[in-house]
Amino acid sequence: MSDVNKVVLAYSGGLDTSVIVRWLQDTYDCEVVTFTADIGQGEEVEPARAKAEAMGIKEIYIDDLREEFVRDFVFPMFRANTIYEGEYLLGTSIARPLIAKRLIEIANETGADTISHGATGKGNDQVRFELGAYALKPGIKVIAPWREWDLSSRESLMAYCETHNIPVDFASAKKKSPYSMDANMLHISYEGDLLEEPWAEPEEDMWRWSVSPEAAPDRATYIELDYQCGDIVAIDGQTMSPATVLEYLNEVGGANGIGRADIVENRYVGMKARGCYETPGGTIMLKAHRAIESLTLDR
């Protein structure tokens, strides 16, 4: 008999985590609670509710965390001028502690003894989720299906869905972008496909949030940022919430060709990985904060 009774799963409603729901139910004979976070990824999160219900999930959490994400995670990060290896603004990294925090809160609320996530065994996300969870609740159990099961490809996941009657839009799944993408309010990232070849230049139609510098306006766009205690509180004299600030800067920055990065980074697990990133608002925030410090701080 499994020693796992109830699992809180970080659930997107996509192919991977839909398979994980059924796999957890079948493998551990446990109750599954789903948690879907809206951190500005640009996708509708409510459809995840219907998908979870179709698989017999009784406890479903869908939370809008956009303001908390920017206020408590993005803003403090830029107050510290955080940047990894000179170029990466940690768009994926900074979102994971918030998701881990909420997973533990829901586990406490529902009496769950375990959490689960859909991070692979090769990337940094597994470390971010699990260390964050253990820091908040050392005794929590973690199930990482990608380190346990024998499913190894998108085709095997889709075959699993067919044999286990998992509600997935197969047409949409087959048409999915060839890139592995992750998005939130701070950035969107791209990995895989032709990016695996370091010499290959990204195709222009890959980018979704910004125009190329060549296509940007020929005249500068001016904005005025008001700071309070190191955080932007108003733009052009208009007071804005943290999430609204970032949303506005993403729009302005993207329209002016700001925020693209194409880098090879060192992962925590010891691998090198190429990633392309669009972080228009974050790039403006970092540059502006450094400029404020140059005016106000001594050496």
Question: In order of start, what are the domains of the chain with their CATH numbers?
Answer: 6-174 (3.40.50.620), 180-296 (3.90.1260.10)
Active site residue 182: no
Structure confidence at residue 155 (pLDDT): 87
**pLDDT > 70 fraction of the chain, expressed in percent and rounded:** 97
Q: Among the options 71, 72, 180, 193, which is catalytic?
A: 180
Three-class secondary structure of residue 268 per DSSP: coil
Look at residue 22 and tell me whether its pLDDT is greater than 50.
Answer: yes
Asked if 30 contacts 67 with a C-beta cutoff of 8 angstroms, the reply is: no
Q: Among the options 18, 22, 125, 210, which is catalytic?
A: 125
Active site residue 180: yes
Look at residue 122 and tell me whether its pLDDT is greater than 90.
Answer: no
Look at 25-34, 90-99, 172-181, 213-222 and tell me which has the smallest mean pLDDT: 172-181
Look at residue 176 and tell me whether its pLDDT is greater than 70.
Answer: no
Q: Among the options 66, 96, 102, 128, which is catalytic?
A: 96
| Cα–Cα dist 5/32, whole Å | 9
At 115, the pLDDT band (50, 70, 90 cuts) reads very high
Structure confidence at residue 280 (pLDDT): 99
**pLDDT > 90 fraction of the chain, expressed in percent and rounded:** 82
What value does the mean pLDDT take over residues 54-61? 95
Look at residue 171 and tell me whether its pLDDT is greater than 80.
Answer: no
Structure confidence at residue 151 (pLDDT): 87
Is 170 or 263 the better-scoring residue by pLDDT?
263
Active site residue 226: no
Structure confidence at residue 173 (pLDDT): 56
Across 183-193, b (16+ Cβ under 10 Å) vs e yields bbbbbbbbbee
What value does the mean pLDDT take over residues 232-247? 99
Asked if 35 contacts 103 with a C-beta cutoff of 8 angstroms, the reply is: yes
What value does the mean pLDDT take over residues 99-114? 98
Mean pLDDT over each residue of the chain, to the nearest integer: 94
Q: What are the tokens at 256?
A: 């002016």
| Cα–Cα dist 130/84, whole Å | 21
Asked if 23 contacts 145 with a C-beta cutoff of 8 angstroms, the reply is: yes
Look at residue 55 and tell me whether its pLDDT is greater than 70.
Answer: yes
| Cα–Cα dist 162/285, whole Å | 46
At 256, the pLDDT band (50, 70, 90 cuts) reads very high
At 170, the pLDDT band (50, 70, 90 cuts) reads low
Look at 16-20, 87-91, 120-124, 273-277 and tell me which has the smallest mean pLDDT: 120-124
Q: pTM of whole model > 0.85?
A: yes
Asked if 261 contacts 88 with a C-beta cutoff of 8 angstroms, the reply is: yes
Structure confidence at residue 1 (pLDDT): 44
What value does the mean pLDDT take over residues 233-254? 99
Across 254-266, b (16+ Cβ under 10 Å) vs e yields bbbbbbbbeeebe
Alpha-carbon distance values, 137 to 111, 134, 162 (Å): 13, 5, 36
DSSP state of 73: I
Structure confidence at residue 38 (pLDDT): 96
At 172, the pLDDT band (50, 70, 90 cuts) reads low
